[in-house]
């Protein structure tokens, strides 16, 4: 952080600006200390081991489906679904390593991050000529379905070569080599490519809906210089807890807690959530939590609203 230091406040300067909630900030610091004392920043290794094992079991089950049941339509589609689930869950697991929330050292988190995102799996500015007032309609066609199969497949290779990230490239090549050696003997090259893009299509829909349900529907304004805690609570919302919701979203249904405690292991989010909710209630801040399907519907409603704002700004001047 030293590169970001631009100076020190003089002694007579206030440490809190009037626009920021000093009491909330101080109480959140106390909450952070409480969380540390409760051991909620410590990882349960068994949880993440089981996460990894269930991904590997899904991968094996997908291959065995074709190996044992043959390559007709039903086993083919079942294999695609199993692989899609494995890829989505691997995405949530690499997210854990990326947030340094699994191991106590950054080195180990980064090492496993490379393995999971590299071997187990693999926003532009708006332009005036795009019909953004209809984006809530075409989002279903070109948003979730196209992100991973089309955009990420070529852009990731372009990115790692341009940035000369040769280690990342090597891990990515092992991923494609493993898939080719595993499925081409069973399906042939054309069948493998069909399977690959179906998996990417299903995974892409899963990824986009889950990652956007906590953010797009939230009210985003110009910087009002509020305190950090208030900013996080205004920009994120939760989705109700259940075993399915936790698994389906990789615990990103606890987006509020994830933002407030970004290095906390996700299996502890449900333990700290009541404390965060109490803090919000004390300071009159809304702690937003909604059902999963409502969160999905709010994505579409939000896109419609922002599309109308674009229409008013550029075409109804």
pLDDT for the residue numbered 246: 96
Are 118 and 175 in contact, with CB atoms under 8 Å apart?
yes
Among 186, 175, 192, 3, residue whose Cα is nearest residue 80: 192
Count Cα atoms within 13 angstroms, Cβ side, for 250: 23
Distances (CA, A) of 219 to 244, 263, 282: 27, 25, 22
Q: What is the pTM of this model?
A: 0.76
From first to last of its 317 residues, the chain has per-residue pLDDT tens of 788 888 887 877 777 777 788 899 999 999 999 999 999 999 999 999 999 999 999 999 999 999 999 999 999 999 999 999 998 999 888 888 887 777 777 776 666 665 556 545 563 334 444 443 444 344 455 555 555 555 556 667 677 778 787 877 887 888 888 889 999 999 999 999 999 888 988 888 888 888 888 877 777 667 778 899 998 998 899 999 999 999 999 999 999 999 999 999 999 999 999 999 999 999 999 999 999 999 988 887 776 655 554 444 455 44
pLDDT for the residue numbered 25: 92
Phi, psi dihedral angles at 22 (to 5 degrees): -65, -45
pLDDT in tens, 157-211: 677 778 787 877 887 888 888 889 999 999 999 999 999 888 988 888 888 888 8
pLDDT for the residue numbered 243: 96
User: Which residues are CB-contacts of 153 (< 8 A; sequence separation ≥ 6)?
Assistant: 122, 200
Return the DSSP state at 317. Answer: -
Phi, psi dihedral angles at 238 (to 5 degrees): -105, 165
Rounded to whole angstroms, how far apart are CA atoms 88 and 86?
A: 6
Burial of 20 (0-12, 13-18, 19+ CB in 10 A): middle
Q: Which residue has the tokens 């004392």?
A: 37
Rounded to whole angstroms, how far apart are CA atoms 46 and 249?
A: 19
Are 261 and 35 in contact, with CB atoms under 8 Å apart?
yes
DSSP string, 232-269: HHHH--EE---HHHHHHHTTGGGHHHHHHSTTS-GGGH
pLDDT for the residue numbered 4: 84
pLDDT for the residue numbered 61: 97
Q: Give 290's strand partners.
A: 239
Return the DSSP state at 38. Answer: T
151, 156, 158, 164: CA torsion to nearest 10 = 170
| Percent of residues, the chain, with pLDDT higher than 70 | 78
Are 259 and 269 in contact, with CB atoms under 8 Å apart?
no
Q: Is the dihedral of CA 91, 94, 100, 103 positive or negative?
A: positive
Burial of 7 (0-12, 13-18, 19+ CB in 10 A): exposed
Distances (CA, A) of 27 to 9, 21, 162: 23, 10, 45
Distances (CA, A) of 181 to 46, 144, 186, 304: 31, 28, 9, 45
**For residue 289, what is the enclosing H or E element?**
strand 289-290
pLDDT for the residue numbered 190: 93
């Amino acid at each position: 952080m030293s590169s970001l230091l631009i100076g020190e406040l003089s002694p007579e300067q206030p440490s809190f600006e009037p626009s920021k909630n000093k009491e909330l900030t101080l109480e959140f610091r106390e909450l952070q200390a409480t969380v540390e004392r409760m051991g909620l920043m410590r990882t349960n290794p068994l949880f993440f081991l089981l996460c990894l094992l269930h991904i590997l079991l899904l991968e094996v089950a997908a291959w065995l489906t074709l190996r044992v049941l043959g390559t007709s339509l039903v086993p083919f589609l079942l294999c695609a679904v199993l692989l899609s689930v494995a890829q989505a869950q691997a995405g949530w697991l690499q997210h854990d390593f990326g947030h340094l929330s699994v191991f106590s050292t950054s080195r180990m988190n980064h090492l496993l991050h490379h393995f999971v995102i590299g071997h187990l799996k693999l926003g532009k500015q708006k332009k005036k000529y795009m019909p953004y007032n209809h984006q809530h309609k075409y989002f279903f066609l070109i948003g979730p379905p196209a992100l991973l199969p089309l955009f990420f497949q070529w852009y990731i290779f372009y990115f790692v070569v341009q940035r000369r990230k040769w280690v990342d490239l090597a891990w990515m090549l092992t991923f494609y080599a493993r898939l080719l050696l595993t499925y081409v003997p069973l399906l042939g090259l054309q069948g493998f490519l069909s399977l690959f893009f179906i998996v990417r299509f299903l995974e892409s829909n899963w990824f986009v809906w889950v990652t956007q349900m906590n953010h797009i529907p939230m009210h985003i304004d110009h910087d009002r210089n509020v305190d950090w805690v208030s900013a996080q609570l205004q920009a994120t919302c939760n989705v109700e807890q259940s075993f399915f919701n936790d698994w389906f979203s990789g615990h990103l249904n606890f987006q509020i807690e994830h933002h407030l405690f970004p290095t906390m292991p996700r299996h502890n989010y449900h333990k700290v959530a009541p404390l965060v909710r109490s803090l919000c209630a004390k300071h009159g801040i809304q702690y937003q939590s909604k059902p999963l399907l409502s969160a999905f519907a709010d994505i579409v409603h939000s896109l419609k609203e922002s599309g109308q704002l674009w229409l008013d700004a550029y075409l109804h001047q």
